[in-house]
Amino acid sequence: MDPSPQSRHAHGLAYSAAGMIVISPDALLLRLIRDADVWEIIFYRSLLTWLSLAVLLTFRYRGRLFGLWRGAGRAGAASAVLMGVSNFAFVGAILNTTVANTLVIIATMPLFAAVLGWLLIRERVRLRTWIAISVAFSGIVVIFAESLGTGNWIGDLMAMTAALMQALNLVILRTTGPRDMSGAVCLSGFAGAALLLPFASPAAVGAHDLGILALLGLVVLPLALTLFIAGARTAPAAEVALMALLETVLGPLWAWLGVGEVPSVRALAGGALVLGAILANALLALREGRSGQWRLRLDADKRSPRMP
């Protein structure tokens, strides 16, 4: 028996929430790396994620992995490049600024996606989203203003780059229709590892750091990605966006518990503005969506013939 729409909806939210909870210690794990530099970190992060996803997709599509890559087309290739750049920028941000700053700035990705969608594919942006963008931008200004005085502005800028790359990737994926683009995620790992190999020294990474990178690349990232994508297929985008805020909230908490990294007062104030803007926008979008569904059902009931 097929599950009901309500059941699929609940399962989708549960999967998305689980994916965000799984990935939330990502920044803490990067903080625990002792000696590996940014090139080795991104190389192993990309290589191991590619290997784990390649195995998963091979079993899922019964060996038709290369066909999945070819089917992604130019959009898939562009998506793979953007995800690779985003991965590099995220690691660079974690190594150059606080976890809280990084995750709060990256949380603005849905708002950047709205602006880029309006500019590139003429998607309508509602007034509430423009207001949310303005409020979130003011929060980012507060974060950057503090970072300029502490030398963390490079990390904040890299976090902003990661958010922009992820947003642009979303816009590209919106143009692909129903095609399965999971192969592009896998391909981005392979391409990133291949491009970084000349700059990295994989053999120089010690057992401690390699163990952490293996946990990230073989377990945390592929499991979180699989769960989140599974949830996004059956739950509304506005509700999935709310689940994504779990990483923004839990990430700094793990960093505080694990390495004693406490966000500053200005970072908390700027983060409150950013998260408040995103949360309000997502809740209003969710309310509009449910109101629209209710009106459609009401109109359908009015048009349906009544039994005598």
DSSP for 225-247 reads HHHHHHHHTTS-HHHHHHHHHHH
Q: What average pLDDT does range 55-72 have in this prediction?
A: 71
Given this model, what pLDDT does residue 225 score? 78
Q: What average pLDDT does range 133-148 have in this prediction?
A: 82
Tens of pLDDT, residues 228-257:
777 766 666 656 666 777 888 889 989 989
Give the angle subtended at the CA of 172 by the CAs of 296 and 100, to the nearest 5°. Answer: 90
Q: What does pLDDT average to over the chain?
A: 81
Given this model, what pLDDT does residue 308 score? 44
Given this model, what pLDDT does residue 73 score? 72
Does residue 122 carry a pLDDT above 70?
yes
Query: 177: phi > 0 → left, psi -120 to 50 → alpha, else beta; which?
Result: left
- Are the beta carbons of 159 and 99 closer than 8 angstroms? no
Q: How far apart are CA 129 and CA 80, in angstroms?
A: 28
Task: Indicate the range of 39-48, 84-93, 233-242 predicted with least confidence.
Answer: 233-242
Query: 75: phi > 0 → left, psi -120 to 50 → alpha, else beta; which?
Result: alpha
- Which H or E run includes 139? helix 127-150
Task: Indicate the range of 112-126, 148-162, 240-254, 280-294 predicted with least confidence.
Answer: 280-294
